[in-house]
Amino acid sequence: MTTQQLTYVIAVSECQSISKAAEKLFVTQPSLSQYIHSIEKQLGIKLFDRSVTPLQMTDAGRLYVEWARKILAMEESMNNAISDLMGLETGSVRIGASPFRVRCLLARSIAAFHAKYPNIHLTIHEADMKQLRDQLLAGEIDFAVGTGDFEEKQFHVESLAEERLYLGVAAGHPLTEKLPEPLSAEDIIQSTPKYLRTEPIDLTLAKDESFVAASAGEHDLEKLKSVCRKCGFEPDIAYGVQTIETVFSFVCANMGIALLPDSLIYYGNFREHPNYYPLPDALALCRISLISRRNAFLSKAAAEYALLLKQLVDVGTWQMLQ
């Protein structure tokens, strides 16, 4: 088996389409199809069921992909171990995070690392936390950055920063008449005296309102439901959208209210903002963490990126990079 064989089969399994996989791999569809047939002939067994759409893996295909990922992860670890002998002149770092985290938190740290170590290759894997957990366990990434609970026997978790949720409500929304004076984005970013003295609101004041929720990411519908249930009600969902950034735009357009993380306020670079209302700490606070697989080999390059990221957070979270 070659690295190319393993990579091609994994790509087809992920895309569930030979044509889409061919586009991703920058090869022609006929050549990739022929290549997969050749692998199956060599193994003497079918890896994919071509009678259904989208393409599905056979039991043998699932087993092949499972081991292919392990083999590629071991090969990557070997390459990094060899690179360690050369110091930080070569190597690779594989970082996983949600698209929101990559855009709002990691982009600048990645740029800073590349400027310091231009010959080290950085790979970014954008996925939700469930997928990132699987990728960590499979050895496909070195780190994940995000929120959530992680099994201590499987993962090493380092706290990076604190994240706070706010209730976001458009200025023209009727709910503002029931709520106290709001905070502006500037109040939150600058920690103004108003920010320091403003008391948390009772979220049950919003129980009869319509919410906007994301279908994916750390701040998704399940997160919204979890917070609202702690207050004794089920949120009414007016719109279900894909990302927290789209949730934000819907709130600004007065199409519903939402729970918005302060990371979006600090680093989203939005010109327009809704009104913000603080929530009690028990509802609002969570930790952004740097997560790695326990006992996994960590290259010098990966360790150096982790150190740089933590240093940037320590000197003022990511605001120093704006």
What residues does each domain of the chain span?
A: 1-85, 163-285
At which residue do the structure tokens 């789209």 appear? 246
DSSP string, 249-284: HHHHTTS-BEEEEHHHHHHS--S---EEEE--HHHH
Give CA–CA dist 126/98, Å, rounded: 5
Q: What tokens were used for 197?
A: 């003295």
239's torsion region: left (phi>0), alpha (psi -120 to 50) or beta? beta
Q: Cα(142)–Cα(159) distance, rounded to whole angstroms? A: 16
Which pLDDT value is given to residue 297? 73
Rounded-to-integer distance, Cα 226 and Cα 221, Å:
9
Q: Which two tokens stand for residue 37?
A: 């047939």
Residues belonging to the chain: 322
- Nearest CA to 6 among 55, 72, 78? 72
Q: Are 275 and 176 in contact (CB under 8 A)?
A: yes
Residue with token string 């680093």:
267
Determine the CATH number of domain 163-285: 3.40.190.10
What is the pLDDT, as a whole number, of residue 46? 92
Spatial distance between the Cα atoms of 322 and 318, rounded to a whole number of angstroms: 7
Per-residue pLDDT of the chain (322 residues; tens, 9 = 90+): 677 788 888 889 989 999 999 888 888 888 889 889 888 888 899 999 988 888 899 999 999 988 888 887 777 666 666 565 555 566 788 999 988 888 877 887 888 888 888 888 888 999 888 889 888 888 888 899 998 888 888 999 988 888 999 999 999 999 999 999 999 999 999 999 999 999 999 999 999 999 999 998 889 999 999 999 999 999 999 999 999 999 999 999 999 999 999 989 988 889 899 999 999 999 999 999 999 988 777 778 888 888 888 877 765 444 444 4
For residue 316, the model assigns a pLDDT of 46
pLDDT of residue 298: 75
Q: What local confidence, expressed as pLDDT, does residue 77 receive? A: 67
Q: Which CATH architecture has domain 1-85?
A: Orthogonal Bundle (1.10)
What pLDDT score does 80 carry? Answer: 61
Give the helix ranges, DSSP H, for 184-316: 185-190, 193-197, 221-230, 244-252, 262-267, 281-284, 300-314
Amino acid at 33: S
126 strand-pairing partners: 97
